[in-house]
Every structure is written in structure tokens, then in C-alpha cells.
Amino acid sequence: MSAPAETSVQKVREAFVERFGGEPDGVWASPGRVNLIGEHTDYNGGLCLPIALPQRTFAAVRARDDDRLVLASCDVDGVAELDIDEVAPGRPQGWASYLAGVVWALREAGHPVRSVDVVVHSTVPIGAGLSSSAALEGSLGTAASDLFGLDLLASDEGRAQLAKACQRAENHIAQAPTGGLDQAASLRTTEGHALLLDCRDGSIGQVPFDLTAHDLELLVCDTRAEHALVDGQYAERRASCEQAAELLGVETLREIEPSGLEAALLALPNDLLRKRTRHVVTEIQRVRDTIAALERDDYAEVGRLFHESHESLRLDFEVTCPELDVAVVAARAAGALGARMTGGGFGGSCIALIPAGTADQVTAAIEAAYSEQGFAAPSCFAAVAAAPGGRVS
């Protein structure tokens, strides 16, 4: 375990002992993610390519023998306490809904999950578009799998089931209509690899992703611009895609091949639906092209595809914001091979593919651009493809 992880395990353990007056049964952790490319494609049955981040949510957990869920956090005040049967859409609210929702979803799926005492602590920046919610879900989901004998962690099949339950928790209890990318990234990735996730059938591939071998780095820049998936914008994008698919007579926009895009655009009744459809169809193709470029070590092409993706999200899907756009332009001007927003957008984070050793220089360029625009300072860090969720202590 890395030194920061050890510190987090100790922190969450001590907080557990202080609150509950006894040791937890163990500590589990699940990571945040960045999506390399394939944005707003998951709920269209498309392809995505995330990596797990080293930053994760740690959960100290102890099984209870009654029906009470007691959920606490080192990072925010307040405790959520309720009976298992009281968990329902919108109840509890806020961060605790992601935890209670996992217990609810696993039970709904027929798993013999009981009540728990939980304390969480997260090193995933909250609200930064880096999947702090999926990390929360995965931390308790992995704990529940071990504590209640579900045996979901030993195979990808089991992890896929757990990821699905975590997504259901988010969709039904936290009421965020998200598409499954984040939970798969947190639970189905492998260290040193990006996850090729096919959201049409849930199948995956592991794509080697070791930038150090190519004298490159991945810089993540949290713009600190507020980002929330439970407001209406994300849901509106999803609804537009579903409407376009229905009008085109297909189950999802994944069914539209790039060769059929022009005909599909002509068949749609307005510019908004045309733009949304064009983004989804071209973005899915960019995932395929990125995989091909990675296979032949063509990082200039990967950078170019990052740029195209960002432009498509800016102009066609309209989910970027000034902070994201300024960071992307500044990173590229400072030598990045490519840069793009990652995650849901409307704030959150961007990523930049940069030559090794230039993180400080690119960060300084973004900071200078932010200061010129009067934006609050961003927070940048270099990321590697880390391990998925599981027991850490």
C-alpha cells in the first residue's frame, strides 16, 4: 500500500473506533476515475476508455445484526442513520444516499446484505467530475461483497454485477440518471491499463496504458468550477439522445455507424438533435481510433483525438464551460499533445497528455490563464492508471 493510502486507512479506522467504540471488520477502498475518451457515450450503448485514479474513497465497515444503517464521514459533518427498509428514492439525501443506495440495490438484486456501521474518508476531490460518487459506492459495495459472502470481487463477472448495483444505487436512490461508466471504472479496471468498456453488452477489454514508457504523463486539472449531475443539464442531454434514437428507429445511438451519420442527420427534425447525435456517433468512433493509436504507440494521434473530442463536447454536445475551455487551450499552448474535458462536464476536470517532466510548466500556464480570466485557481496533479476497488486492510 502507498504511504497516502496507509494514512487514509489509519484515519478512517481511528474515526470508526472513535464513533462506534470498537474496531471495524476491515477497510475497503474504491477509486475515482478519469475517462480518457468516450464521453456521454455510456447511456447511448457506446464505448468508453477510463482509467482508475490512485485517489480513492476508504470505508471502514462493520456488519451489524439489526436493521439499522449508520453512515458517517471524516470529510463532512453529520451522520445518516436509518432502517434498511427506509432507504428509498431521495432518502437519505446527499453523500449518504450513495452508500445506503448500494445496500438497497444489492438487496434488490437478491443478495443477502444486512446492516452496517460505516465511516468513509475520500481522497477523490468531491464534485470535480472525477467520480467521487462511484468511489463512495464502490467502497461500500466491495465491503458488502466480502462481509456478506457475495464473492463478487474475484471475477470480472462478479465485479460487473457489483458495478451494476452501484449504478442502480446512483440512479434510483441518489436520483442521478448516470450511465455506468464511473462504476465500471472504479470496479472493473486493472492497474496499468485503461478499460475499454462496451456499454451495449457490458463487455470489456484491458488496454495497456503506461505513459512513462513513452516519456509522457497525464495531467489532471480540476477546474474547481462547480459540477453536479443531479441538476437538469445531464438529464436533458440524455433525454435528447433518447429522443434522437427513437426518431431514427434505433434502440440507442450506438446503432448509427459513422457511414450512416449523414443520412441520420438529414432524418432528424432540428439542429439540437443533429448536434447531439453527431457528437455521440463521432465520439464512439474516436474511442476506436484512440485504441488503434495506442496500439501503434501513436501518441500524437491520441492527442489529436483528445482535441477533437473536446471540440465536439464544446460545440455539439455543449457540456463544457469557460473554465474547461480555457484550461484546454492553455495546456495545448504550453506543449500538451492534446487536452480535453473528462467526465460529465458543466465544470469538473480536464486531462492533458503532456511530455514527461512538463507538469509544472503546463500547470503554471493554466494557472496564469485562470488568473488572467479572473477564475479561482485550479488544482492539477499527474495521474497513472491505478488499481480497482477492493479490501485494503
* Shorter beta-carbon distance to ligand GAF: residue 92 or 180: 180
DSSP per-residue string spanning 150-176: ---SSSHHHHHHHHHHHHHIIIIIS--
Judged by CB under 6 A, the residue of 24, 26, 32, 40 near ligand GAF is: 40
Contact set for ligand GAF, span 318-377 (CB under 6 A): 343-344
Residue in 25, 66, 77, 182 annotated catalytic: 182
Which of these ranges, 7-15, 66-74, 105-113, 178-186, lies near ligand GAF under the rule CB under 6 A?
A: 178-186
Contact 281, 256 (CB under 8 A): yes
187 binds ligand GAF (CB under 6 A): no
- Rounded to an integer, what distance in angstroms lies between the CA atom of residue 8 and that of residue 129? 21
Judged by CB under 6 A, the residue of 44, 178, 186, 309 near ligand GAF is: 178
26 binds ligand GAF (CB under 6 A): no
The vertex-259 CA angle with 254 and 261, nearest 5°, equals 60
3 state DSSP class of 74: coil
Nearest partner of 51 among 306, 279, 391, 386, judged by Cα: 386
Which of these ranges, 90-98, 108-116, 177-185, 295-303, lies near ligand GAF under the rule CB under 6 A?
A: 177-185
- Any catalytic annotation for residue 151? no
* Shorter beta-carbon distance to ligand GAF: residue 13 or 188: 188
- Rounded to an integer, what distance in angstroms lies between the CA atom of residue 393 and that of residue 384? 22
3 state DSSP class of 68: strand
Judged by CB under 6 A, the residue of 182, 289, 316, 323 near ligand GAF is: 182
x/- letters, 214..243, toward ligand GAF (CB under 6 A) = ---------------x--------------
Contact 353, 302 (CB under 8 A): yes
Give phi and psi for 275, each to the nearest 5: -65, -45
Judged by CB under 6 A, the residue of 179, 338, 378, 388 near ligand GAF is: 179
Contacting positions for ligand GAF (CB under 6 A): 35, 39-40, 42-43, 178-182, 229, 343-344
